[in-house]
Amino acid sequence: MRALLTSKVARRALRPIAELIDQRVERQVRRVLGESARADVSQQELKKLRNRQRPLELFFDGTGRGASRLPSAPHLTRTITELAEATGRDRDAAERNVAQAFRLLIAMEALGVGRIAGGTMNIVGKLSAVPLLDPPNDEILEIGTLYGMFGAALIRMMERAGRAPSLTIVDPLAGTQLQPGTTMGNDASGTPVNGAAVRTNLALVGAAGAAARIQQGFSEDPEVRALVSDRSYGVIIVDGDHSAAGVAADLEWAEQIVAPGGVVVLDDFGHPKWPGIKEAFEKHMAGNTRFTFLGQVAHSGYLRAASA
């Protein structure tokens, strides 16, 4: 049989079939090689794209500020919904403010010193909500400012709404962030918490920033209170001592100095890391108060003082 297959006649007869098989094998090999070459090329492309993407990510990721500034689309949608509900404004207005506040946050952290504290949607929510709530006057008190960058950004958002904000800040400006009962490590930004940093950030927003009052000290200190209680505030941001006792004291003070119809923002409201804030709020609201709860956007609660 073997002799038959290897005979000259048989080889000549089988040549077309062998050639056909050769051609098929060759095509198959070329296809496989082509695929792996293509796979090599797409791996290289992917690597190149990743390398190009990294510097773009630096505009938004958490490096140097602790929190990423790249919210997901569902997070943005939820913030817009909560904002429209808490402020009673239409969705278009809420969406416009969220977009403008988001761009502002990225710009402020890119240009300023330090950072704004907290999650992206919480910051964007506060910057958006305050002008939408149309406070009864332009006096703003921020209790706990850290680097002054949020206060500066709020000035810009108020000006965008045609307002003429006048900001007062109370903070110990103690070199680092102070929180009773909590050890705060070195700040992710690497910048010391001091008056110079606050001034630099306020200067970024022009005349109203430069004119801001900075009262160094603790909000429960009677001397500090006396110096700052010289006016009625249209907006009070409670973002200093996050303990239940600290927030209770700030709410009690806010009752006295908020203007009729004024807005109080309770930062980190419902945040699992700071249970004292909701605890103090619930106790406060169970007592005799001028405040009505308007709603919550991300991790901030909004209250409105009764009109006169």
Ligand X SMILES: C[S@@+](CC[C@H](N)C(=O)[O-])C[C@H]1O[C@@H](n2cnc3c(N)ncnc32)[C@H](O)[C@@H]1O
> Rounded to the nearest whole angstrom, what is the least distance from the CB of residue 64 to ligand X in the complex?
15
Q: How far is the CB of 43 from ligand X (least distance, A)?
A: 43
- Cβ 268 to ligand X, closest distance in Å? 7
Is residue 105 within 8 A of residue 120, CB to CB? The reply is yes
In DSSP notation, 260-291 reads EEEEEEEETTT-TT-HHHHHHHHHHHHSS-SE
Q: What is the nearest approach in angstroms of ligand X to the Cβ of residue 142?
A: 6
Sequence letter at residue 41: V
Cβ–Cβ < 8 Å for 137, 108 = no
Q: How far is the CB of 84 from ligand X (least distance, A)?
A: 22
Rule CB under 6 A: which residues touch ligand X? 116-117, 142-146, 149-150, 170-172, 174, 177-178, 193, 218-220, 239-241, 246
CA pair distance 260, 291, nearest whole angstrom: 10
Nearer to ligand X, 208 or 266 (CB): 266
Which one, 70 or 174, has the nearer CB to ligand X? 174
Q: Which is nearer to ligand X, 140 or 294 (by Cβ)?
A: 140
- Residue number, 46 or 251, with CB nearest to ligand X: 251
Residues in the chain: 308
Cα gap 116→130, rounded to integer Å: 16
Helical residues (DSSP H) of the chain, grouped into ranges: 2-6, 8-57, 73-87, 91-111, 120-132, 149-160, 195-203, 206-210, 222-228, 244-257, 275-286
| CB of 276 vs ligand X, minimal distance in Å | 12
Nearest-CB residue to ligand X?
144
Q: Based on CB atoms, which residue is closest to ligand X, 145 or 166?
A: 145
CA torsion angle 268 244 272 267 (round to 10):
0
Determine the angle formed by the axes of helices 149-160 and 91-111, rounding to 10 degrees: 140
Closer to ligand X by CB, 115 or 304: give it: 115
